[in-house]
Structure 1
Amino acid sequence: MKYILTALILLMLSCNSLYAQFNSDPILNIENKDKKLLNYGYFLGFNRYGFKFDYKEDRGNRDTDVQVLESTGFNVGLIGELRLNEFLDLRIEPGLYYNARTLGFPGFLNTEEGRRNAFREVKSTYINFPLLLKVSTKRFGNWKPFLVAGPSASLNLGSNEKSLEDNSSGTFRLKKWTYNYEIGFGIDFYLEYFKFTPSIRGVFGINDELIRDNDPNSPWTGNIDAMRTRGLFVNFTFE
């Protein structure tokens, strides 16, 4: 929730810096921008990635659950938009998303030797391929809010899926492909020469991403039933 609130504050600051666009009778910028069949652009932004864990055995103790220490990563990518009608657009947004997460396994913290095995750093470089439906309101002067949602597939270049080593050798393995659904909102601002769009989007993994250790009773993965991505994207788009 605190990450969502931070993103909302950033969006509000962006809106405030462009307050002049909210005049009751503004001069319309790039008036025909959305009337084109195809639009192109690029985006920059940042992300927060985490995991949601489901367990085979509920031990009734949160202290034994896997802990996820999240960090902030960055995004960069391209945009292609197909106009369907005045209020609907179909978008593709292939992009590169980098992030690193640290997983903590509390069960190892009882001994000094165990503490050396209690943490695993998971570095991920995703190439994300979303197909999104953008649903907009009518244009109000030089701004227009919208909702966006759709499926995506992410190729994890740092997955270690084919590695023969597992956590017993210090290697935490993930599947190469992740499938998600994404939902978010944003505001299009029509500036003098281009369209600027701050947006916030949540990402929810569908498939289990975990490659389990060779030992079915592994203290790292033995009790994990499923591990799925959860993420937050804040993007700034230029079209």
Structure 2
Amino acid sequence: MAADRPGLTRVEHVMGTAIELDLADDLPPARLAELADRTFDWLREVDARFSTYRDDSEVCRLDRGVLRLADASADLRLVLQRCADLWAATDGWFDAYATGRLDPSGYVKGWSAQVASDRLVAAGAPNHCLNAGGDVVVRGLSPTGGPWRIGVRHPDDWASVCLVLAGSDLAVATSGVHHRGHHVIDPRRGVPARGLRLVTVVGPDLGYADAYATAALAMGEPGVRWLDRLDGHLHAVVTDDDRLLHSTHLPLVD
């Protein structure tokens, strides 16, 4: 961030990805650093609790049966309830057990970033952008005083974008093949989903947008029609045959 602009930018590696926080409020440097510290402390706490790669995480201990649900944290119980609600709302296409074990990652990253953003607003930092590995929540105005610009990376070329969005108070979640290949599981067949290579969902809450993007990717091409009917949300998709389709009113930058 330029020296003559207010705010702070910090990038840390959490949850297996680079997470970037841009604070655009004209606050004392010590206060900005404190807010950034709190944000990344929360994200590390979420990673410790929900990681599927750490044997001592609550998710892994619950999955192995060594932790009772009644003894789990309030955050874990909340996330599991949200995942159950999303399973019902998506007719089973969002499934935290699609891989055969408990994995709520398709909701957790977006949810934790949304919680962090809400806490920043409550703490007096209403202008910020939090980019959690491509799942982005923007609030208020950017350091230039205008809307934030959010690039959606192309599934074929991680260094380029297939579209750019602009706005304030938006949640933008993307699920796609990228460098991981077709990793989202079709929960009805138990195999990697095919038909869509990228799904971006834009809405008011990053946790739900994240889950809806995962569900649509799991559906394959029928997911486009499902997204068309999803109230309060806009979308863009890239199909396996390289078609870019998007909602009419998606806030695109020319």
TM-score by length of 1: 0.26
Structure with more of its chain in helix, by fraction: 2
Higher relative contact order (CA 8 A, sep 6+): 1
Q: Larger Cα Rg: Structure 1 or Structure 2?
A: 1
